[in-house]
Chain A
Amino acid sequence: MEIVSRPYQNKFIEWSKDKPQVIVLSADLTNSCEIGEWSKAYPERFFSMGLSEQNMMGFAAGLARRGFYPFLHTFAVFLYRRPYDQLAMSIAYPNLPVRLIGFLPGITTPGGITHQATDDIAILRATPNMTILDCGDATDVETVLDVIQVIDGPVYVRMLRGEVPRLFDKNEPFKFNQARALSWGTDVAILSEGICTEEAMRASKALKDLNLSFTHLHVSTLKPFNDPQVLEAIQHAKFGVITMENHTTIGGLGSAAAELMAENGIGKKLIRIGLRDTYAHGASKPYLMREYKLDALALIEAIECLINRKFGIKEADLQEIRLDPVHSAAKAEAL
Chain B
Amino acid sequence: MEKETSKAWVKEIQVAAQRIRIRVLEHILRNNGGYMSQACSSAELFAALYLKIMKLGPSIAPLTPLRFEGAPGPNNSNYFRGGAYNGELKPDLDQFIFSPSHYALVLYAALIEVGRLAPEAMEEFNQDGSTVEMIGHEHSPGVDTTTGSLGQAISQAGGFALARKLLGESGRVWVFMTDGECQEGQVWEAVNAMAFYGLDNVGVYVDVNGQQCDGEVKSVMKVEPLKDKLEAFGARVIVVDGHDVQALVAAGERVADQRPLFVLAYTDPIKNIPLLEQRRPVLHYLRFKSEQEKLEYQSLYEELKEMVPWK
Residues of A within 8 A of B (CB): 47, 49-50, 52, 54-68, 85-86, 89-90, 93-95, 128-129, 152-153
Contact = CB atoms under 8 A, between A and B. Distances in A.
B164 A57 contact: no
B74 A153 contact: yes
14 contacts: A47-B197, A52-B193, A54-B189, A58-B159, A59-B158, A62-B161, A66-B160, A66-B167, A68-B163, A68-B166, A85-B149, A86-B149, A89-B147, A95-B72
Contact of A94 (B145, B167, B189): B145
Contacts of A89: 146-149, 152
A94 B72 contact: yes
A61 B72 CA distance: 14
B154 interface: yes
A166 to B, nearest CB: 32
Given A93-B71, A129-B73, A58 B146 contact: no
A85 to B, nearest CB: 5
Nearest to B169: A66
A95 B74 contact: yes
B74 A54 contact: no
Contacts of A68: 163, 166
Nearest to B159: A62
A93 B146 contact: yes
A59 B155 contact: yes
A249 B160 CA distance: 39
A90 B163 contact: no
A85 B148 CA distance: 11
A54 B167 contact: no
Interface string B153-186: 1111111111110110000000000000000011
Interface residues of B, number: 35
Counting from the closest, the 4 A-B pairs by CB-CB distance are A62-B159, A58-B155, A55-B189, A66-B163
B192 interface: yes
A86 B187 CA distance: 12
Contacts of A61: 145, 155-156, 159
Nearest to B157: A62
A86 B160 contact: no
Contacts of A153: 73-74
Contacts of B196: 50
Interface of B: 71-74, 77, 138, 145-149, 151-164, 166-167, 185-186, 189-190, 192-193, 196-197
B186 A63 contact: no
Contacts of B148: 89
Given A89-B149, A93-B72, A94-B145, A49 B193 contact: yes
Contacts of B156: 58-59, 61-62, 90
Contact of B186 (A60, A86, A95): A86
A95 B77 contact: yes
Contacts of B160: 62-63, 65-66
Contact of A63 (B154, B162, B185): B162
Interface centre among A60, A61, A64, A86 (most CB of B within 10 A): A61
A5 B163 CA distance: 34
B135 to A, nearest CB: 12
A52 B162 contact: no
Contacts of A67: 163, 167
B73 A63 contact: no
A86 B150 CA distance: 10
Given A95-B77, A128-B71, A129-B73, A52 B152 contact: no
Nearest to A151: B74
B154 to A, nearest CB: 7
Contacts of A49: 193
Contact of A152 (B74, B146, B152, B155): B74
A95 B77 CA distance: 8
A90 B166 CA distance: 21
A93 to B, nearest CB: 5
| Chain B CB within 10 A, most for which of A65, A68, A129 | A65
Contacts of A52: 186, 189, 192-193
A24 to B, nearest CB: 13
Contacts of B153: 58
